[in-house]
Amino acid sequence: MAPSVETVTVKESPLPLLGDDPLSPAQWATLLAFADAVVPSIAPSATANPATQLAIGANDYATRLANVQQLAGPDVAPELSAQYLAETPSACPAFRENIQRLMAQYIPADVRKQLLAIFGVLNTRPGALVMTGYSTPFAEQPVNIRIAILQNWMTARTPMFRQLNKMLTSLIKQNWAKSSAALGRVLGFPRVPVHGSVGKGFNFEFIQMPPGVGPETIETDIVIVGSGCGAGVCAKNFAEAGHRVIVVEKSYYWPPEHLPMKETDGFNHLFMNGGFVISDDTSVSVAAGQTFGGGGFVNWSASLQTQGYVRQEWADQGLPFFTSAEFQKSLDAVCQRMGVATDPIKHNPSNNHLLEGARKLGWSHKAVPQNSGGAEHYCGYCSMGCASCEKQGPHVSFLPDAARAGAEFIEGLDIRKILFEKKKGKMVAVGVCGTWASRDEHGGVAGASKTRRNVIIRAKRVVIAGGTMQSPLLLLRSGLKNPNIGRHLHLHPVSFLGAVHKERTDPWEGGILTSVVNEFENLDGKGHGAKLEAVTMLPSVWLTVAPWVGGLEYKDLVPRMKHMAGYFALARDRDTGRVYPDPLDGRCRLSYTLSRFDKKSLLEGVVGLAKLQYVAGASEIFTTIPGCPPFRRTETESEEEDPEGTNNERFQAWLKDVRRTGLPQPETMFMSAHQMGTCRMGASPRTSVVDADGKVWGTEGLYVADASVFPSASGVNPMVTVMGIADWLSRNISARMAREKEVAKL
């Protein structure tokens, strides 16, 4: 049965007003000169201003305009296609606002200082000569020269130039896609899913602090820091066992009428650091949910249980629970609560192509179970929040269960420290403290908080579930010295591949990740390899990773997105990095560089994706590897007229080029949506942060229950594994507390 079509009106979710501008007028001129080179205005030579527009011949312009119009379709006026070709980022008011917010709030101070210093150097003749080969300051160059400079940086011998090219082009592409006036209409990208609907969200009641001078003190049995997948399961189990529970979250709850958010608003409201978390070497960009509901609020519904070889690996490290029937019972329990199933799935074109390609090649593949409560959930916008309430994230399932059982909640409370007392020579966690910020006078978060208070929550047990990026920082701020805290970071790094198909795909519609190819998941015989999956196709995500080889080529590529399918190879990374607090402001920083071993897994995955898309009939296949040109099929190589399949000589030659190019650094972009291991579980404090019960070594009453406790990378989307661990840990903690209560009565 076809999904029903419903008109949805979404409430706005305004952002806080911008503060001081960190860029000088000269620095803005340089940055915008870069922006208008990455996404240039294109005009016929006869009318073009060569300083600001990329001039092309009249016939060439007419052909490109006709191509845009054909892709846009008959419902789009020709004037809009011309507007798209003429548009530049600097002409989009929201682009400058986005960049200013990014520079002021989200880029670490040392990185911002370096970037602005480079802009300053480029504003001088000697500096421009050294960095560009021209003595004219960069901002004064005509656009064609600026494009040529960026292209030269792509292949420069000096790694800094390749790194700078990647960083600038990525930031510009993403923020132009968020702010363009023409892009969404040319693509036919609707504000909300075509098949969207608004469900009824749970009416959470949050504790409000009265105005006052000193700290507000609250008492409870168990305080849970964080509100994501681990926190939700813990809260439900504790509350249903009769304990007093308070769940605290530094961010805020967004009900379904605000969802899905616009891409600019969503990244700012729903993700850590505005969605801009990047490794120190700029090789990996990390997306981590930060809202009431955590990563489960913005993930893509994939609900894969921990695989047997991973469970065995963890058991062999002194954690036999992972191969026990009890762990399986916990996994099944959380999946049952979320209605995890494959039967309701309706695959969109991207996932259909993945499955069909794997079938034709005889590769291992399957549908990915979805936590959609038995609903079809044909929605591709979940990264910006799911309005239908079909996706059973923590805020739809476990946290409402906890509330119905008596749990309480606080939003806007940034926990800074865990409180300890010495009892019988042991460090015993007795609570947490932090700073609370209320909503503004309109009930939103765009204005100033009506009330700010320091808050102390005293508790018998403290459960940290702030996620892999934040939980270790809280332990460090609280004075814990275990050298494993923050280390052993796994990221499931991904590399992308795109395919263009003759038919229109509208890739932003439909379930995002409903299929997986497992053919390459165990390349070393020890469980390390790559899984092949479909990616979210929101424009500001996909067009950020889409290859940039020149401004003209990028403008040509973008309108074809409505015929694309996007994929990634995801590595179960063997090698690790670390997170640590920024020395200036304490924000989360990460040090992570892909090893040669893990890059090999990714490269095999990318080659596998290319083969899948070839047999699925793609007319063009492109990687996101710099220096790797796309493969374009000829008419005689159509799927029906190509009996050789992947043995096609031209295709094989292209695959050899892909392998030869590899995944060079620092210019290759990798991304991560899964973070694990920074408070890892183990049999000894010499190698881990928490014991088999989730208790932090060297403490009493302090536990961690999120993906940071994974002993190594899970190899699958971590949500169900987190929930299974949290289910088991929380039941054990609750049982111990009940026994203590009985003993106290004696």
Indicate which residues carry an active-site annotation. Answer: 674
What are the φ and ψ backbone dihedral angles of 721, each rounded to 5 degrees? -65, -45
Residue 494 pairs in a beta bridge with 570, 671
Nearest Cα residue to 350 out of 558, 198, 517, 520: 517
H/E element, 532: strand 530-534
**Other C-beta atoms within 10 Å of 649: how many?**
8
Say which residues have a Cβ less than 8 Å from residue 466's Cβ, sequence separation at least 6. Answer: 225, 226, 415, 474, 706
Q: What is the DSSP letter of 119?
A: H
Angular region, 36: left φ>0, alpha ψ -120 to 50, beta rest = alpha
Say which residues have a Cβ less than 8 Å from residue 180's Cβ, sequence separation at least 6. Answer: 87, 89, 92, 95
Say which residues have a Cβ less than 8 Å from residue 107's Cβ, sequence separation at least 6. Answer: 115, 276
Locate all alpha helices (DSSP H) within 271-345, ordered by sequence: 295-298, 308-315, 325-338
Q: Could you give the C-alpha distances from 169 to 208, 463, 476, 551, 693, in angstroms and in order?
A: 44, 41, 35, 10, 46
Q: How many angstroms separate the CA atoms of 33 and 141, rounded?
A: 8
| 563 in Cβ contact with 503 (< 8 Å) | yes
The CA-based angle 235-241-244, given to 5 degrees, is 60
Q: Could you give the C-alpha distances from 698 to 148, 543, 653, 694, in angstroms and in order?
A: 58, 47, 58, 12
Amino acid at 736: R
The pairing of beta strand 530-534 with beta strand 408-411: unpaired
Q: How many angstroms separate the CA atoms of 224 and 213, rounded?
A: 25
Q: How many angstroms separate the CA atoms of 412 and 627, rounded?
A: 45
Q: What is the DSSP letter of 341?
A: B
Q: Give the distance, in angstroms, between the CA of residue 720 and the centroid of all CA atoms in the same chain.
A: 17
| 529 in Cβ contact with 519 (< 8 Å) | no
What are the φ and ψ backbone dihedral angles of 716, each rounded to 5 degrees? -130, 165
Residue with tokens 């987190």: 722
Q: How many angstroms separate the CA atoms of 99 and 97, rounded?
A: 6
Residue 420 pairs in a beta bridge with 429
Enter the tokens of residue 703: 């536990």
Enter the tokens of residue 553: 């080529």
